[in-house]
Amino acid sequence: MKKRVHFTTTQTIMLSFLFGILIGSILLALPISSSTQGKIDYIDALFTATTSMCVTGLVTLPTVSTWSFFGQLVILILIQIGGLGVITIIAGLMIYMNKKIGLNDRLLLQDAFNLNSISGIIRFIKKVLKGTLIVESVGALLYMLVFVPEFGVRGIWISIFTSVSAFCNAGIDIISENSLCDYALNPIVNAVTSMLIVLGGIGYLVWWDVVRVLKKRTQQKISVFSHLTLHSKIVLSVTTFLVLFGALSFLVFEYNNPLTIKNLSLFDKVQVSFFQSITTRTAGFATIPQQNLTNSSAIISMILMFIGGSPAGTAGGIKTITIAVLLISALATIQNREHVEVFDRTLSKHAVNKSVAVVSVSFSIMMVSTLLLSSCMHADLLDILYETVSATATVGLTRNLTPSLNMMGKIVIIVTMYLGRVGPISLLVAFNAKKDKKNVIKNPIEEISIG
């Protein structure tokens, strides 16, 4: 009898992304995907499929001029699948076709979203798919107010594509070759894009928690924030702080930079600064050329990119929860407190360990990628580091290095984008799978010197 191959949850998630990338690269390598019906080098097709599936946004070829409508459609589908996750899409199709979702599938979905329980998982998936459709549709309709008058009927397609890309934090657009730089001072494009990025980035768990509390508030007068879960409180607090901190930093460091915002009005300076702060949360759209930023702004951008969005959302990075737990834990250690506490709640040791592991893995991927890219590309170190941070955190912002990548450079970034997308997720899944296993025998404790 043939033995049936059983994949672990981690292997299933990693293989699902890899399978989607390979299928997408084959489709993009077809002549029908090219705007000129010509041949596209497979490495560029693979790079584009990877950046789409991993919702990164780094591109070696201009999306607007390289790909035909079919090619752009393939890219859009990959972005949507990558943003929601292959497993979520498959589960959605099974629900739509009234197929039974077994226990193993429910456990897989639980791990994919890093949930604590499988209770109500099918209802959660339905809400995710419905909520995504509503938000992306509203975003597309708002974009049409700008793009349809400018591009005519094609503006409808541009609006849909940009809305999905923004919500999934992909940062790929089909408007021009300089991202959204032509719309840096357009309030509608700035506001809609920022809204989609934030909604996709804060995560679905926060969505439903806020809705739950708001419904409760209609029945009785309560404080919304105080009745949120600890997860939502941390996500909203850290997100708000990072957006404000980033915007203020960019405003200060770029205020007198003639290559960015020096010659703009105060309102436009604030508008551009806020957008730069929000887009670094792994969205990847640019309204100012990143290579024109001051070194201080570039460093702030890399910090924000590395942190990224929040769990159970479409954004990448190490996540807001992770950095919050890490910093709170460090503060507790400095203050010689035994327990790690925030918002009158005690964090588990398991949560602290997971945070350390995620940061360590992501940082290792970034550093190895930086070393490899430095060895095969003759470029400024800041540009290389900006590229690898962007790839690791699946952001998509570049200091104009991506188009000039050689063959080895493309391979390095492809692998980095893939590991940056599935690495931290797989690590969390592995932690969840082992968290109930307890060692019966413990080795003796011995103190060591640290610091």
Is the pTM here over 0.75, yes or no? Answer: yes
- CA atoms of 250 and 271, how far apart (whole Å): 11
Mean pLDDT by 10 residues, the chain (451 residues): 60 84 96 89 96 94 94 96 78 72 69 66 84 95 97 96 95 92 95 95 90 83 85 94 96 96 95 96 92 96 94 88 93 89 88 88 94 94 96 94 95 94 68 53 72 66
Sign of CA dihedral 55, 228, 332, 348: negative
Candidates 323, 310, 79, 312; CA nearest to 198 is: 310
CB of 46 closer than 8 Å to CB of 33: no
Strand pairing report for 340-342 and 345-347: antiparallel
Classify residue 384 as exposed, middle or buried by CB count within 10 Å of its CB (0-12, 13-18, 19+).
buried
For the chain, the structural domain boundaries read: 9-432
* Alpha helices (H) along 60-120: 63-66, 69-84, 86-96, 103-112
Q: DSSP for 154-215? A: HHHHHHHHHHHHHHTT----SS-TTTTGGGTT-HHHHHHHHHHHHHHHH-HHHHHHHHHHHH
User: What pLDDT does residue 192 have?
Assistant: 97
CB of 225 closer than 8 Å to CB of 210: no
User: What pLDDT does residue 65 have?
Assistant: 92
Segment holding 346, helix H or strand E: strand 345-347
- CA atoms of 315 and 280, how far apart (whole Å): 10
Buried b (16+ CB within 10 A) or exposed e, 350-381: eebebbebbbebbeebbebbbebbeeebebee
Q: Residues of the chain with pLDDT > 70: what percent?
A: 89
User: What pLDDT does residue 96 have?
Assistant: 72
Which are the contacts of 38, defined by CB distance < 8 A and separation ≥ 6? 31
Residue 173 to residues 67, 376, 397: CA-CA distances in angstroms? 12, 29, 13
pLDDT tens string 231-286: 999 999 999 999 999 999 999 999 999 999 999 999 999 999 999 999 998 898 99
Segment holding 237, helix H or strand E: helix 230-254
User: In angstroms, how far apart are the furthest CA atoms of the chain?
Assistant: 75
User: What pLDDT does residue 1 have?
Assistant: 44
Candidates 43, 40, 109, 49; CA nearest to 77 is: 49
pLDDT tens string 156-171: 999 999 999 999 999 9
- CA atoms of 242 and 261, how far apart (whole Å): 21
CB of 110 closer than 8 Å to CB of 205: no
SS3 118: coil
